[in-house]
Amino acid sequence: MKPRRDTVSGNYPTIEAATISPNPSPFTAGEIIIAAVRRDQRDFDNAMTQVEDLRSLRRGHVNLAVSPSSAEQLVPDAIQAAMERYPGVTYSVRSGNGESILKWVETGEADIGYGLRRKPPPGVVEVRAFAQYLGLVTPPGHPLTKLQKRPRLRECLDYPLILMTPDTELRAMVDQIDHRERRKARPLVETSSVSMVRRLVADGVGIGFLIAENVAEDVAERKLAWTPLADAGAQSFSCLYQRSDLTSTVAMSMFLQFLGQAIETIEDRFHTSTQSARKRGTQIR
């Protein structure tokens, strides 16, 4: 309907004056409610579609890229749990450092990448993140486990150190704490192998710094002790990565659920050690 001309000024009213009302009409309020109901219905329909897709999942394939330490226990646990429900899905798992993991995702050689956070290349996005805490790894009964508090990095520097190599994310976590200290960490042994750190520490050669996921099995078997560091820089994230242009298949979505559950199961084992700063997996998109 054409707006009526003002008989005094000869001008048409402004859009603001013509359209804004402090009290929406019942018609407008009804539209809002109807739109909300429709959104809820679409969400429900989408959820039911996903449920039906999972029920009908008979076969599929998932390509994974993970760190060697994750390939030892975390990923096998997740695959076995998934196979109990969906035995027709197959898997390819390759392991490498963080740079390699992201490269494989970027080139399409892997559908899913999992590792400690680092800046992804163009076209690769972080889809979920899990808080991780750098912890002191010692044999059970070590003096540093009897401090009645979380140790700081500087309190560990008098002991022989078994450290990851400088090109690893685990070492980067140590170094970002270390650069604030006057004394520098001087490793007795440097290695790119998490399993070597565990072995040398268990044999009493020295102490190390790893995340809980790296030592969960050895701690459960009382071969090692793990204590989160009190330093502010001791927190990072392990992340799931995918290509931004990749549409997740039903098999991929299914496995991501099982992998997330496996990560949170490990987190729950160490709950009392990290509860003051604990954070569940965060959805990025």
CA–chain centroid gap for 219, Å, is 22
Provide the pLDDT for residue 181.
Answer: 61
Provide the pLDDT for residue 220.
Answer: 92
Provide the pLDDT for residue 278.
Answer: 43
Provide the pLDDT for residue 271.
Answer: 63
Tell me the angle at which helices 250-269 and 212-220 cross, rounded to the nearest 10 degrees.
Answer: 60
State the CB neighbour count (10 A cutoff) for residue 225.
Answer: 20
Provide the pLDDT for residue 246.
Answer: 87
178-194 tens-digit pLDDT: 766 656 778 999 999 99
- B/e letters for 131-151, b = 16+ CB within 10 Å, e = fewer, are bbbbbbbbbeebeeeeeeebb
pLDDT at 131 exceeding the cut of 70: yes
pLDDT at 7 exceeding the cut of 70: no
Provide the pLDDT for residue 58.
Answer: 73
233-281 tens-digit pLDDT: 898 899 999 999 988 889 899 999 999 999 998 888 886 555 544 444 4
Provide the pLDDT for residue 101.
Answer: 96
Q: Please check whether residue 125 is in contact with residue 131, taking contact to mean a CB–CB distance below 8 angstroms.
A: no
Provide the pLDDT for residue 34.
Answer: 74
Provide the pLDDT for residue 185.
Answer: 78
Q: Please check whether residue 240 is in contact with residue 111, taking contact to mean a CB–CB distance below 8 angstroms.
A: no
pLDDT mean across residues, the chain: 82
Highest mean pLDDT range out of 88-92, 175-179, 232-236? 88-92
